[in-house]
Structure 1
Amino acid sequence: MIGALAAGFLIGLSAAVLSGAAAMLVMETSAHTGFGVATAAGAGIATGDAVWATIAVAAGAALNRLLAPWAELLHWLAIAVLLLIGVLAVRQLLHPGADSAPTRTWHGGSPIRAYAEFLAFTLMNTMTVIYFLSLIVAAAPPYRAVEAAAIVVGAFAASLSWQLALAAAGARLGRTFSDRARRRILLVDCVLVAVFIGYVALGLYRA
């Protein structure tokens, strides 16, 4: 139970920082629109990550027997995909202006609208989708209901914590939000993606 919760927390934290574009949007939304709206936006992202985590653990259980003959091959294929994601994260760190955020600053004023739009953004974000599909392929052991729930709860809690930290940082920085702040966030992104790649490569999810 505790192991599943910890795994979910790492999965959720990795997913939360995976999209540098979303991180920048939350911080800039807080800096320009306010902490309340940014918090709602962050909750939308965390909800999206929780939805994908739910799909991942459900698919992992369903595909466990089907994928068993190719488990080792798919495991390393997924690691290769995660490595590619890591390379893209490093590229974004070195060239922060090359991110693919739909807008540099979100200008909506309603927390409900912010929640809905950031939820939709997370559910359809290409990098997030690839990340969780890789997770399904790389780590497809059958989870008991309690373990699956713990993973989803851990993923949501980690993602929401990260988004709230971003919103608080954006509110503190205000309009002084700079490229240096962006680079710091992207550096954390790279580190956590590397940690998760190691987590999957070592098969710690099987413990």
Structure 2
Amino acid sequence: MAGLLAGYGIAIPVGAVGAHLVAVAARSPWRTGAGAALGIAAADGVYAVLAVLGGAALVPLLAPVATPLRWVSAAVLVILAAHSTRAAVRAYRAGPQSTEAPPPAPRRAFLTFLGITILNPMTIVYFTALVLGGQTTTGATEATVFVTAAFVASASWQLLLATGGTLLGHLVTGPRGRLTTALASGVLIVALAVGLVV
């Protein structure tokens, strides 16, 4: 139960990565969105493992690099938002005859979102605080159940976001609708990325 609550606790607040997930899922097949969602959940799972194995020792090591990691994460998100927006504007200007760039493969989406999420040091601080706060026990079985439950909770929420993005993409199929959602998504991602460092 603690693992499920921890997984949902870190996953449900939709930040810049969640907004980017929805945007990617809206213009890609569901498999690509699912790959991206599982990349986020895998990063949460990795951080849950690290927190259970040695969270107390990792916090002091991460503290000096937390600010640079936040800046790198924000920069990556801004670059992704700019790339996505530019591609949407080009496709709109080219008209209905244009062929949009193919969506990323599920594996590439997985790796991209895994990397973006790993850059967020607050995730390990979150899981470490839960582990040190006594919400799990120290036994191997309990630790395994905690990590598995945290991953399952995160994965289920991220897959829900990806499915919502895919459904949105099916509803907004016209050139103007796609451009509008891409621009809105880009602005939202940039705003949330700025919030990481302000």
TM (normalized to structure 2)?
0.60
Query: Residue 40 of structure 1: which of 31, 35, 49 is its match?
Result: 35
**Match for residue 119 of structure 2?**
124
Query: Residue 130 of structure 2: which of 127, 135, 141 is its match?
Result: 135
Deviation at 1:17, TM superposition (A): 2.8
Q: Which amino acid aligns with 2:32?
A: V
Aligned-residue RMSD, C-alpha: 3.3
CA distance, structure 1, for counterparts of residue 159 and residue 5 of structure 2: 17
Q: Does residue 90 of structure 2 align to residue 114 of structure 1? A: no
Structure-2 change in CA distance of 1:13 and 1:140 (3 Å): closer
Deviation at 1:145, TM superposition (A): 0.8
**Match for residue 77 of structure 2?**
101
> Contact 1:123–1:129 (CA<8 Å) still a contact in 2?
no
Per mean C-alpha deviation after superposition, the further-off stretch among 136-145 and 38-47 is 136-145
**Secondary structure, aligned partner of 1:33:** coil
Deviations 1:30-72 (CA, angstroms, capped at 9, x unpaired): 1012211110011111111001011111225x77xxxxxxxxx
Structure-2 change in CA distance of 1:52 and 1:151 (3 Å): same
CA distance, structure 2, for counterparts of residue 146 and residue 156 of structure 1: 15
Deviation at 1:148, TM superposition (A): 0.5
TM (normalized to structure 1)?
0.58
Structure with larger Rg: 2
Structure-2 change in CA distance of 1:24 and 1:141 (3 Å): closer
Unpaired stretches in structure 2, ≥5 consecutive residues: 58-73, 86-100, 189-198
**Match for residue 66 of structure 1?**
none
Query: Residue 53 of structure 1: which of 48, 66, 78 is its match?
Result: 48
> Contact 1:50–1:153 (CA<8 Å) still a contact in 2?
yes
Deviations 1:7-27 (CA, angstroms, capped at 9, x unpaired): 101111111234511111111
Match runs of 1:7-26 below 5 Å: 7-18=2-13, 20-26=15-21
Q: Give aligned-pair identity as a percent.
A: 35
